Structure 1
Amino acid sequence: MPDAFRCVVLIPSYNSGKLLRRTVSEVLAVWPDVVVVSDGSQDGSQHALDDLLLQHAGLHLVRLQRNGGKGRAVLYGAQWAEQSGFTHILTMDADGQHPAQDLPDFMAAGRQNPQAMILGKPVFGPEAPAVRVWGRKLSNGLVWLETGGAVQDCLFGFRIYPLKPFLQAMRMSRFMRGFDFDPEIAVRLVWMGLPARNKATPVRYLEKSEGGISHFHYGRDNARLIFMHVRLILTWVWKKLCGKRQLFPAEKHAQNCGSHGV
């Protein structure tokens, strides 16, 4: 009987510098299956894994020739994972923000709930930039409306997705390829009926002296988020007007996970 939960850690990376090798090494210390998608990187970071690829049979690298955005990179990685026999992906960033030590707890939650999304809910430390913490409150409020409260943090990319519905949702839309990926995919999957499990986990913000990086462009990416929410809210209103009372079929399944499993 095939395993209902076979998960690979999927790390999209664009010009991640020295943090990529550090992140991948931390993951390999606790989980053997990892695929890194180098999204048109030009800083040489894609070559920082060359020796690790020889040492770890479960580590794979997908190289994309041009930078196309986080969502596009994750889609390529998810397609690779499907072809390689995996049932789930756990996405995490390459910049050191997501804690590799929480991977076993997330994997346990995913194995216990193979039909659900496991969504990281960030616990911010004192070093977190105030503009980041407060800026996401608006998006979270809108996504709360769009999902009936099922998704408690829409921008945190530390998540487990079941592959089949994930790929179905991605292939149905030409959006969700850039910074709009994390919030929109969660909303779309809730609308498709996928249960959401929200699991608290710490988030780290590294200083520039530690190699900390950010590819967020306030003008471009905030405009992208505004456009995304306009599209989603119009869809939400349309479905309401059409009398689709079960707009949030997974709402009753939404719940919080503890810090050590479901």
Structure 2
Amino acid sequence: MSATFNPLVVIPVYDHEHAIGAMVDGVLACGLPCLLVDDGSRESCAAELRRQATRDGVRLLRLDINRGKGGAMIAGFREAARLGASHVLQIDADGQHDTRDIPRFIEAAHNSPDAIINGAPVYDASVPKGRLYGRYLTHVWVWINTLSFEIRDSMCGFRVYPLAPALKVIDEETIGQRMDFDPEIIVRMHWRGIEVQNLPTPVRYPSDGVSHFDVWRDNVRISRMHTRLFFGMLLRFPRIAWNAWR
């Protein structure tokens, strides 16, 4: 258990200059510090992020080359550790998630500091049906690969990680650097016995009309990731089964 609970909000940003101001407003209204990870954004977005970083409680980490959501989050995790954080609250930059739910996630993490607090989306009518149906296939694969229903949604970008075990997985495993990051890291942490708690949270698509999910490329990446995880599950089957059924 963490001796000191010191959460930091990390937001990976790639060309979301029209939505990021409202997201930062929402984070600061919750009284939490915020790290913006500029994932090689165009100059108009980079300038807006530099402006946001002049606000009290906001820091900026600039990546000169786009690494993908996973690459940005990994860089954010490492910077969070350098800054002395115990936990990272990840939230997307595009306005999908309601920042008013942040205190609920932080309270849950404070009460269960060794657990991942995972967003379980409650969608409104704005969700694209193709994205919604595609998620269910991922859910099935995750349930197979963990032999558990504990992870209700593995792709939600709103969650709280205990930082030390997250970095241990990142340091010891090969984790997807793009849209495959969210499902892969939560499965690998679950394999290591990290509890997952699911909090329902509203999700809408997105406030600035910008989505970086590439239907072809990202679905291929995610399919490859599920294949890797499946064979990894087979290698770990006795331990995973024991954790699932005890």
Same fold (TM over 0.5): yes
1:115 and 1:195 in contact (8 A); partners too: yes
SS at match of 2:101: helix
Displacement of 1:170 = 1.0
> Identity over aligned residues, as a percent?
36
Of the three residues 221, 232, 235, the one matched with 2:232 is 235
Residue by residue over 1:129-173, the C-alpha shift from the partner in whole angstroms, topping out at 9 and shown as x without a partner, is: 111111100001110111211211011010000011100111122
* Aligned residue identity for 2:220: A
Cα distance in 2 between the residues matched to 1:136 and 1:113? 27
Cα distance in 2 between the residues matched to 1:248 and 1:91? 29
**Would you identify which runs of 4 or more consecutive aligned residues in structure 1 move more than 4 Å?**
248-253
Structure 1 equivalent of residue 216 of structure 2: 219
Displacement of 1:177 = 1.1
Q: Where do residues 1-262 of structure 1 align in structure 2 (5 Å cutoff)? A: 3-56=3-56, 58-147=57-146, 148-206=148-206, 210-240=207-237, 244=238, 246-247=239-240, 251=244
Displacement of 1:81 = 0.7
Residue by residue over 1:157-199, the C-alpha shift from the partner in whole angstroms, topping out at 9 and shown as x without a partner, is: 1000001110011112233211110000000000011011011
1:123 and 1:202 in contact (8 A); partners too: yes
Cα distance in 2 between the residues matched to 1:221 and 1:15? 18
Relative to the length of structure 1, the TM-score reads 0.88
**Pair 252,24 (structure 1): closer, same or farther in 2 beyond 3 Å:** farther
Displacement of 1:61 = 0.2
Relative to the length of structure 2, the TM-score reads 0.94
Q: How many residues align?
A: 244
Cα distance in 2 between the residues matched to 1:223 and 1:195? 28
Cα distance in 2 between the residues matched to 1:176 and 1:19? 26
Cα distance in 2 between the residues matched to 1:168 and 1:70? 19
Cα distance in 1 between the residues matched to 2:193 and 2:92? 26
Segment drifting more, 35-44 vs 89-98: 35-44
SS at match of 1:199: strand
Gaps of 5+ in 1: 254-262
Gaps of 5+ in 2: none
Displacement of 1:238 = 2.4
Cα distance in 2 between the residues matched to 1:55 and 1:38? 16
Cα distance in 2 between the residues matched to 1:228 and 1:49? 32
Structure 2 equivalent of residue 260 of structure 1: none
Displacement of 1:55 = 3.0
Residue by residue over 1:12-58, the C-alpha shift from the partner in whole angstroms, topping out at 9 and shown as x without a partner, is: 011112111221122111133100000000142122144443331x2
Residue by residue over 1:55-75, the C-alpha shift from the partner in whole angstroms, topping out at 9 and shown as x without a partner, is: 31x210000000011111111
2:50 and 2:60 in contact (8 A); partners too: no
Cα distance in 2 between the residues matched to 1:186 and 1:47? 33
